[in-house]
């Protein structure tokens, strides 16, 4: 699988959107600033995500984007496929014409790897990633508080 920046940025942007979803619509400018992704690139990605009905746009003051589905209904594979990112390790794009218009010796190996990757990405939801990120954030906060308390106790 040759996951390019398109797929990576789409997943990152939707995870950011999911992390902020309880605050109402999120602007692409905010996502761009937090994730250091070009605003024009996000606009292209979100047009595709909206077309695939993964996000909804809200116009007007306080507008932006929100998720069109619940967090547990959006898999990482859904996001990657929505931005036209192929999940393919074969040299032939799955056409089985890798070697002299025939299937190469390792075609089935790479095709099976594609299936494994796709199944894995299909099993991971935005909800799982949000929960994991929140847990990491909470652990980081607890570590900072503990460090602060230790520092205070030393003085």
What is the maximum span of the chain, computed from C-alpha positions, in angstroms? 75
Q: What percent of the chain has pLDDT over 90?
A: 56
More confident residue, 100 or 25: 25
Does residue 64 sit in helix, strand or coil?
A: strand
pLDDT at residue 14 above 80? yes
pLDDT band at 1 (very low <50, low <70, confident <90, very high): low
C-alpha 24, offset from chain centre: 19
Extended beta strands in 62-106, E state = 64-67
pLDDT per residue as tens digits for the range 98-152? 777 788 888 889 889 888 998 999 999 999 999 999 999 888 888 888 887 777 7
Rounded distance, CA 136 to CA 77, Å? 23
pLDDT band at 2 (very low <50, low <70, confident <90, very high): low
Mean pLDDT confidence for 58-77: 92
Which pairing describes strands 64-67 and 55-58: parallel, antiparallel, or unpaired?
antiparallel
pLDDT band at 32 (very low <50, low <70, confident <90, very high): very high
DSSP at 152: H
More confident residue, 58 or 143: 58
DSSP at 99: B
Domains defined along the chain, listed by start: 5-86 (1.10.10.10)
Mean pLDDT confidence for 85-106: 78
Residues 91, 38 contacting (CB under 8 angstroms): no
Rounded distance, CA 28 to CA 72, Å? 22
pLDDT at residue 153 above 90? no
């Amino acid at each position: 699988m040759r996951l390019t920046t398109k797929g990576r940025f789409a997943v990152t942007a939707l995870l950011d959107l999911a992390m902020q979803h309880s605050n109402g619509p999120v602007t692409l400018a905010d996502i761009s600033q937090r994730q250091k992704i070009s605003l024009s690139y996000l606009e292209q990605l979100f047009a595709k995500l909206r077309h695939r009905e993964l996000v909804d746009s809200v116009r007007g003051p306080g507008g932006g984007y929100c998720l069109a589905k619940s967090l547990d209904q959006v898999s990482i594979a859904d996001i990657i496929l929505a931005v036209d990112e192929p999940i393919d390790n074969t040299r032939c794009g799955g056409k089985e014409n890798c070697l002299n218009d025939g299937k190469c010796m390792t075609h089935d190996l790479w095709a099976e790897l594609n299936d494994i990757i796709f199944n894995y990405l299909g099993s991971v939801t935005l909800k799982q990633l949000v929960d994991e990120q929140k847990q990491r954030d909470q652990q980081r906060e607890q570590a900072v508080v503990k460090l602060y308390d230790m520092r205070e106790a030393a003085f």
